[in-house]
């Protein structure tokens, strides 16, 4: 985990249209290069909104987002993975991944290489010519991740990407995501309702609560990554995080 931040969110506040008070206020967070940060909290605290602000899709009512990486015409500094894969049904898997590369200054050969590289990274090279309806739910999510990684982002923003799949698939995708993250070296902000998932995946967990929402707890996951799956120490840690969350709900 790097101490130098790749993205810094400073004093963010946001009010939904028609609301009388902000959903969150003075939210600040820095994420280091290659760091994996999970944000957990009850429904309505603005977790997904924070990701959309960080991605540049919407603007905060106050505060700033600083990406500490220079813009380059051949890559994007940030990419967003949604709850569903959002694949276009009229495009093949390879064409869906290539969609994220449109607008970048890359020769056709480099675009093809990137598509091949990320398909290999998510272990789906044999699915390049498939149509989205021919994929399982887990494969759709992995293609969504591949599409985001193809633009070589410094920060990957993930909005509950495994919430729509069954428990066994979710467990497999969690393991796959750790492998992909370790190979890519991309910093990740991961939003989830699942505290056990956050504890398994993240270096650091941010708990949001109160109204307007704020960070009510922030801890570094104390269990070595190689020992996390089905670890009693991790379960006890997750229970402590859950206690901090329950106290605020």
From first to last of its 249 residues, the chain has per-residue pLDDT tens of 456 899 999 999 999 999 989 999 999 999 999 999 999 998 889 999 999 999 999 999 999 999 998 889 999 999 999 888 789 999 999 999 999 899 999 999 999 999 999 999 999 999 999 999 999 999 999 999 999 999 999 999 999 999 888 999 999 999 999 999 999 999 999 999 999 999 999 999 999 998 899 999 999 999 999 999 999 999 999 999 988 776 554
User: Would you state the structure tokens that stand for residue 115, as one six-digit string?
Assistant: 């598509």
pLDDT reported for residue 3? 60
| Model confidence, pTM | 0.93
Edge-to-edge strand list for the sheet holding 24-32: 24-32, 5-14, 62-67
115, 148 in Cβ contact below 8 A? no
State the Cα–Cα distance between residues 228 and 146, nearest whole angstrom. 25
Instruction: Give span(s): CATH 3.40.50.300, the chain.
Output: 5-69+154-248
The Cβ of residue 176 has, within 10 Å, a number of other Cβ atoms equal to 17
Find where tokens 């982002």 sit.
Answer: 153
Find where tokens 């700033």 sit.
Answer: 64
Residue 177's nearest CA partner among 160, 195, 164 is: 160
CA 49 vs. chain centroid, Å, equals: 13
5-69+154-248 CATH fold:
Rossmann fold (3.40.50)
- Alpha carbon separation from 174 to 33, 235, 244 (Å, rounded): 20, 16, 23
State the Cα–Cα distance between residues 172 and 34, nearest whole angstrom. 22
Residue 62's nearest CA partner among 26, 108, 114 is: 26
pLDDT reported for residue 12? 97
34, 7 in Cβ contact below 8 A? no
Coil, strand or helix: which one is 73?
coil
| Four-CA torsion 62, 63, 65, 66, nearest 10 degrees | 140
191, 39 in Cβ contact below 8 A? yes
234, 200 in Cβ contact below 8 A? yes
pLDDT reported for residue 247? 56
The Cβ of residue 219 has, within 10 Å, a number of other Cβ atoms equal to 15
């Amino acid at each position: 985990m790097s101490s130098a931040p790749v993205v810094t969110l400073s004093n963010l506040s946001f009010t939904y249209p028609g609301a009388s008070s902000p959903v969150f206020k003075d939210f600040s967070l820095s994420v280091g290069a290659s760091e994996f940060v999970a944000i957990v909290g009850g429904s309505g605290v603005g977790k997904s909104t924070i990701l959309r602000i960080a991605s540049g899709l919407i603007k905060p009512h106050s505060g700033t987002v600083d990406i500490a990486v220079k813009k380059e015409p051949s890559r994007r500094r940030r990419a967003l993975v949604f709850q569903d894969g959002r694949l276009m049904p009229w495009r093949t898997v390879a064409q869906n991944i290539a969609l994220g590369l449109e607008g970048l200054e890359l020769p056709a050969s480099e675009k093809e290489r990137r598509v091949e590289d990320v398909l290999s990274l998510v272990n789906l090279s044999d699915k390049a010519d498939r149509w989205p309806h021919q994929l399982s739910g887990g494969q759709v999510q992995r293609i969504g991740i591949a599409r985001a990684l193809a633009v070589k982002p410094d920060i990957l923003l993930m909005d509950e990407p495994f919430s729509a799949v069954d428990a066994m698939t979710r467990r497999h995708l969690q393991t796959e995501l750790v492998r992909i993250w370790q190979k890519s070296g991309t910093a990740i902000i991961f939003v989830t309702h699942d505290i056990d998932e956050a504890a398994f995946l993240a270096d650091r967990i941010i708990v949001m609560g109160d109204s307007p929402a704020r960070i009510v707890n922030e801890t570094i996951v104390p269990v070595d990554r190689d020992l996390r799956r089905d670890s009693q120490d991790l379960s006890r840690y997750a229970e402590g995080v859950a206690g901090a969350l329950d106290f605020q709900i």
